[in-house]
C-alpha cells in the first residue's frame, strides 16, 4: 500500500485485516511529521504501537447504546521516506538509512513500473515461499547480536538477524556488519534531544577540568560551529536557559543538576558547574567519547550510582556515515 497522506483511522483499518495485511510505504512523510506539520500525535502513536506484533488500538464500534470496544491489531511492515528526521519515538523503532542524491558520475538503471513491477512480484513470491519454509524454525530463535547492540536497536534487529542466519551463506556476516554500521551511524547523527546534545557538548568542553564557570561555558557553547547554542530561539543561550535544561537531569545522588558557587578569588565567588554533578548524566545519556580522557568520561562511569543492580555492556564505536528513514 503506497501513500503520501493517510489518516489514523484509514491506516489502522487497512493493516488490521488479517486476510490482507498490507505492507505500507509511506512516502513524503516529512509533510506529516516535519517541522511545519501539526504534529499528528494520533498517527504517531499508531505507528509506534505497530512496532510490536502485540500492538493494537482500541476503538468504539457501533451506534448509540450498542457501541462495543473493538481491538484492531496494527502490527505491520512499514517503510517511510522523507526529508529530515521523524519524531524521536519513531526513529528509535526504525532501521535508519540516510539517503543521498545520486552523483553525476553514478549510473543506475531507470525504474520502469511496467517492466520492474513484474520482476518485483516474482521476487516477492519467491521470498514468501522461502519464508513459509523456515517460519516454524524461526519461532524461538534468539540470534547472536553484535557487541554493543542492545535495548531498542536489539529489538529492531533481532528478527532481521534471525532471517539472515536462516538464509545462511554470506548473509549472517553481512547482516551483522550492516547492523553495526547503521546503528552506530544513527547514534552518531542522532540529535536525540537538545538536552542530550547539551550534555555531550558540555562533556567535550570540560575536558580534564573539574569545574567551570557558567560564563565560560556559555562562551564556549556559543563558539561551537555546528551547535544550536549561538542561536537558541533566536538568541544565544543564557545562564537561565542552561540551568533550566540541565535541571532536567540529576546527579549521582538523584538531585537535579544546579549551578553551584565556585571560588574565583580570596573574597569572590561565581556560579558554575562541577564534573562530579554532571558525570552521572554523561554516562547515562551520552554516547562514549572516542579516547575520552580518564578524568572526564572514563571516570564518569565509576561515579554512577545505579538505582538498581545493572549489567553494563560495552558500547559500540561511535563513528558515523550515512542514514534515511525506514522500519
Q: Per-residue DSSP letters for 263-322?
A: EEETTEEEEEEEHHHHHHHHHHHSPPPTT--IIIIIHHHHH---SS---PPPPPP-----
Please tell me the pTM assigned to this model.
0.62
What Å distances lie between residue 102 and 99, 105, 106, CA to CA? 9, 8, 6
Q: How is residue 3 annotated by DSSP? A: E
List pLDDT tens digits, range 193-207: 688 889 999 999 999
Q: In what order do the strands lie in the sheet containing 2-3?
A: 2-3, 24-26, 78-80
Please say if the pLDDT value at position 311 is more than 70. no
**Rounded CA separation 230/243 (Å):** 16
Bridge pairing between strands 56-61 and 68-73 = antiparallel
Q: Which residue has the higher pLDDT, 315 or 9?
A: 9
**Rounded CA separation 237/48 (Å):** 33
List pLDDT tens digits, range 235-278: 899 999 999 999 989 999 999 999 999 999 898 999 999 999 99
pLDDT at position 276, please?
Answer: 95
Average pLDDT on 44-67 reads: 87
**Rounded CA separation 41/118 (Å):** 37
**Rounded CA separation 251/21 (Å):** 48
Q: Cell triple for residue 236?
A: 544565544
Please say if the pLDDT value at position 18 is more than 50. yes
Name the pLDDT band for 312 (thresholds 50, 70, 90).
Answer: very low
Q: Which residue has the higher pLDDT, 281 or 2?
A: 281
Q: Are 289 and 275 in contact (CB under 8 A)?
A: no
Q: Cell triple for residue 100?
A: 543521498
Average pLDDT on 220-225 reads: 92
Average pLDDT, the chain: 83
**Rg of the chain taking only CA atoms, in angstroms:** 24
Instruction: Return the number of other C-beta atoms located less than 10 Å from residue 134's C-beta.
Output: 15
Q: Which of 22-26, 71-75, 302-306 has the lowest mean pLDDT?
A: 302-306
Amino acid at each position: 500500500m503506497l501513500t503520501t497522506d493517510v489518516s489514523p483511522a484509514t491506516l489502522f483499518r487497512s493493516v488490521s485485516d488479517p486476510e490482507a495485511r498490507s505492507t505500507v510505504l509511506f512516502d513524503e512523510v516529512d509533510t506529516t511529521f516535519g517541522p511545519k506539520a501539526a504534529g499528528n500525535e494520533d498517527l504517531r502513536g499508531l505507528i509506534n504501537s505497530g512496532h510490536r506484533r502485540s500492538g493494537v488500538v482500541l476503538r468504539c464500534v457501533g451506534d448509540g447504546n450498542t457501541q462495543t470496544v473493538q481491538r484492531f491489531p496494527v502490527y505491520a511492515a512499514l517503510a517511510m521516506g522523507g526529508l529530515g528526521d521523524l519524531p524521536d519515538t519513531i526513529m528509535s523503532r526504525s532501521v535508519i538509512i540516510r539517503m543521498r542524491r545520486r552523483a553525476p558520475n553514478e549510473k543506475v538503471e531507470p525504474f520502469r513500473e511496467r517492466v520492474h513491477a513484474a520482476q518485483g512480484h516474482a521476487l516477492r513470491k519467491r521470498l514468501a515461499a522461502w519464508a513459509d519454509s523456515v517460519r516454524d524454525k524461526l519461532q524461538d530463535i534468539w540470534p547472536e547480536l553484535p557487541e554493543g547492540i542492545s535495548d531498542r536497536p536489539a529489538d529492531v534487529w533481532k528478527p532481521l538477524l534471525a532471517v539472515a542466519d536462516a538464509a545462511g551463506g554470506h548473509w549472517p556476516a553481512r547482516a551483522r556488519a550492516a547492523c553495526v554500521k547503521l546503528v552506530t551511524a544513527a547514534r552518531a547523527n542522532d540529535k536525540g534531544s537538545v538536552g542530550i546534545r547539551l550534555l555531550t557538548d558540555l562533556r567535550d568542553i570540560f575536558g580534564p577540568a573539574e569545574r567551570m564557570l557558567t560564563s565560560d561555558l556559555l562562551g564556549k557553547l556559543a563558539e561551537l560551529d555546528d551547535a544550536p547554542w549561538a542561536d537558541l530561539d533566536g538568541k544565544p543561550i543564557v545562564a537561565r536557559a542552561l540551568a533550566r535544561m540541565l535541571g532536567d537531569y540529576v546527579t549521582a545522588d538523584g538531585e537535579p543538576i544546579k549551578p553551584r558557587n565556585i571560588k574565583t578569588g580570596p573574597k569572590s565567588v561565581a556560579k558554575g558547574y562541577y564534573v562530579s554533578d554532571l558525570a552521572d548524566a554523561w554516562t547515562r545519556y551520552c554516547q562514549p567519547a572516542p579516547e575520552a580522557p580518564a578524568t572526564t568520561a572514563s571516570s564518569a562511569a565509576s561515579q554512577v550510582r545505579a538505582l538498581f543492580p545493572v549489567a553494563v555492556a560495552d558500547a559500540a564505536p561511535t563513528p558515523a556515515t550515512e542514514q534515511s528513514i525506514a522500519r
